[in-house]
Amino acid sequence: MNTLADQELVALARLGNLPAFETLVRRHQALVRNWLRRLGKDAGRADDLAQETFVQAWRQLGSYRGEGQFHSWLLRIAYSCFLQHMRKHRSEAALQERVARLAPAQDHTLPHDESPDAVRMLALLNVEERACMLLFYGHGYSHSEISELLSLPLGTVKSQLRRGILRIREHMRIEP
Amino acid sequence: MSLQDEPALELSAAETAFLTDLFRVGVGDAEGDAAQEAFIQRVMRSVQARQRRALLFDTLPLLMGAALLMAAMLLPVFDTLPMLLAGSLSELPAFITSIEWDSGTLLPLAAVLLAALLPGLLDAVTRMLD
């Protein structure tokens, strides 16, 4: 199974082949979990959302047309799960954002390899800015790919990136 | 000026490198193999539970059909239904009072109700098991 490409594994998983799907989970779990951990603030909750992402992916395998990369499709589902969770727990999320901005150094729930700067910078950004910055600078996605992945207009992606950069410049005083 | 009209920011190579380093999403995981394996097994258990539930729901229409068929054969009031459907609603009170609520009526009725409630019940049970 490990030697098969994502598309081949998807084709097998669609037929109900669980080992094929497990290989996909094994292959992409770190990416999805890290993406959700960086979008949110709580590693435990990020893992719950990552689990929900893979369950949704299993259910929606039939709708994956194989046009884009499988991991991009997974990140899209993960972002959708994350937004749904945010909507359900709006007040709690707002409080967490505020706490993170006030005392980011106290937050120990992000991945161990996260630098203090990254933690502080991520806390400065709103969800859309954070998602755009992570995809653009972290994953190397193009503006149009981010637009498709996050279901945002291209102009919004550009403006979110611009605002994110300005916010970081303001706090880090990076020399252009 | 709308957000879309804002001019793009010019970034120096150093600035781009800084941001790339800052937002790099690690594909590795510092928490170790055991934690990763535990997560994978957790996902797979959840997927298997979902698969079992899907199987139940696939067979449910058959079960419901069988229950309804049984009810149709056993429920004596079904004999009167065509007349009721064809006739006027004025006969409804008389029809209801004519029903004898004995085991011959109640059991098939219970079967119909159970068949109607079964999807919800099974969904609740499997959600609890998840």
B-facing residues of A in 135-164 (CB < 8 A) are 136-139, 153, 155-156, 158-159, 161-162
Chain-centroid distance of CA A135 in Å reads 8
What is the model's pLDDT at position B5?
Answer: 46
Query: How many Cβ pairs within 8 Å bridge chains A and B?
Result: 114
Q: What is the pLDDT of residue B116?
A: 74
Cβ contacts of A54 on chain B, cutoff 8 Å:
43, 46-47
Q: How far apart are the C-alpha atoms of A136 and B100, rounded to whole Å? A: 73
Regarding predicted confidence, which is higher, B20 or A6? A6
- Per-residue pLDDT, B6: 52
Please report the pLDDT score of residue B3 as a whole number.
44
What mean pLDDT do residues A35-44 have? 84
Q: Which of A83-92, B102-111, B121-130 has the highest mean pLDDT?
A: A83-92
Residue B111 has pLDDT above 70, yes or no: yes
Measured between beta carbons, the chain A residues lying within 8 angstroms of B6 are: 158-159, 162
Average pLDDT over residues A63-84: 91
Question: Any CB–CB contact under 8 A between B47 and chain A?
Answer: yes
Distance of CA B74 to the CA centre of its chain: 30
pLDDT of residue B112 exceeding 70, the answer is yes
* Residue with the larger pLDDT of the pair A20 and A98: A20
* Dist CA A68 CA A9 (whole Å): 15
Q: Which of A56-65, A100-109, B58-67, B93-102 has the highest mean pLDDT?
A: A56-65
Residue A106: pLDDT band with limits 50, 70, 90 = very low
Residues in chain A: 176
pLDDT band at B2 (very low <50, low <70, confident <90, very high): very low
Amino acid A173: pLDDT = 62
Cβ–Cβ contact B28 with A under 8 A: yes
Residue A107: pLDDT band with limits 50, 70, 90: very low
Q: Which of residues 69-128 of A touch B (CB under 8 A)?
A: 111-113, 115, 117-118, 121
Residue A45 near chain B (CB below 8 Å): no
In chain B, which residue's Cα lies nearest the Cα of A157? B4
Confidence bin at A65 (pLDDT 50/70/90): confident
Considering only residues B35 and A58, tell me which one the structure prediction assigns the higher pLDDT.
A58
* pLDDT for residue A103: 54
- A131, pLDDT greater than 90: yes
Residue A114's pLDDT is: 57
Q: What pLDDT does residue A167 have? A: 87
Q: Which of A40-44, A79-83, B26-30, B54-58 has the lowest mean pLDDT?
A: B26-30
* C-beta of residue B28 within 8 angstroms of C-beta of residue B36: no
The CA-atom distances, in angstroms, between B8 and each of A39, A68, A87, B18, B22 are 24, 27, 31, 18, 20
Residue B25 pLDDT = 64
Tokens of A53: 């992402």
Instruction: Read off the amino acid at residue B116.
Output: A
**Mean pLDDT over all residues of chain B?**
73
pLDDT of the residue at A78: 96
Q: Cα-Cα-Cα-Cα dihedral of B7, B12, B14, B19, to 10°?
A: 10
**SS3 annotation, chain A:** CCCCCHHHHHHHHHCCCHHHHHHHHHHHHHHHHHHHHHHCCCHHHHHHHHHHHHHHHHHHHHHCCCCCCHHHHHHHHHHHHHHHHHHHCHHHHHHHHHHHHHCHHHCCCCCCCCCHHHHHHHHHCCHHHHHHHHHHHHCCCCHHHHHHHHCCCHHHHHHHHHHHHHHHHHHHCCCC
Nearest residue, CB atoms, A111 vs list B26, B40, B51: B26
B38-82 tens-digit pLDDT: 999 999 999 998 888 777 776 776 777 777 777 766 666 666 666
Mean pLDDT over residues A107-125, rounded? 63
Mean pLDDT of A67-72: 89
Minimal Cα–Cα distance from A95 to chain B, Å?
23
Q: Residue A72 pLDDT > 80, yes or no?
A: yes
